Chains A and B, each alone.
Chain A
Amino acid sequence: DSGVTQTPKHLITATGQRVTLRCSPRSGDLSVYWYQQSLDQGLQFLIQYYNGEERAKGNILERFSAQQFPDLHSELNLSSLELGDSALYFCASSVVDRPGNTIYFGEGSWLTVV
């Protein structure tokens, strides 16, 4: 158990809908990261937050957004869902904001868009 908690574990929704994925980082971790893992794209970095502020953006679509709350939990919002958004979405966290800190991953949220 990495200490990173993600909910829901599985989610099935229709195209055009909106979903919210939730993440609780490890206790004491200030950085939260979101990754998308699909069969054809591998693990892709989406976005990073540090202590409530957006720190870096990766390959995140405009239909997706995220935020980190004062209690450090984070949410990833996916809207206008398309079939291609079906993937495993991982949240990860690390303790401080410098290179070389271990990033711990949650178990992921399986999103299926039908």
Chain B
Amino acid sequence: GENVGLHLPTLSVQEGDNSIINCAYSNSASDYFIWYKQESGKGPQFIIDIRSNMDKRQGQRVTVLLNKTVKHLSLQIAATQPGDSAVYFCAESPQTNFGNEKLTFGTGTRLTIIP
């Protein structure tokens, strides 16, 4: 079946460096992509999203890149801080008439920032 997967389960980055978290998806009908951050004991927190009609979107210290040709999504975090340590999930949703009910999450990547 369709799935969203992450290339790397763990990633360690030196504080201040940039990090890149990757995600592959297989559902060609995917229209909307989201990155969530989940800290220990907390719920997933929205970071940034992107629609399929875009290939790049920037937020505060974060950038999401979408390559529809190879069905690849990445999250770049600039100048990482200790508070960035968390598990990061990509999620995707196909274009539907009713909303985000088919939001499918990847397995997650644990990002550890080394002081």
Contact = CB atoms under 8 A, between A and B. Distances in A.
Nearest to A57: B101
Report, as a range, how many residues of chain A touch the other chain: 20 to 34
Interface stretch (A12-20, A69-77, A78-86, A104-112): A104-112
Contacts, number: 78
Contact of B99 (A42, A99, A105): A99
Contacts of B100: 31, 33, 48, 94, 99-101, 103
Contacts of B51: 100
Contact of B32 (A31, A42, A99): A99
Contacts of B98: 50, 55-56, 97-98
Interface in A3-61: 4, 31, 33, 42-45, 48, 50, 55-56, 58
B96 interface: yes
A113 interface: no
Contacts of B97: 98
B105 A43 contact: yes
Interface stretch (B11-19, B39-47, B72-80): B39-47
B101 A43 contact: no
Interface in B43-97: 43-46, 49, 51, 89, 91, 93, 95-97
Nearest to A95: B99
B93 A42 contact: no
Interface of A: 2, 4, 31, 33, 42-45, 48, 50, 55-56, 58, 90, 92, 94, 96-108
Interface of B: 31-32, 34, 36, 41-46, 49, 51, 89, 91, 93, 95-108
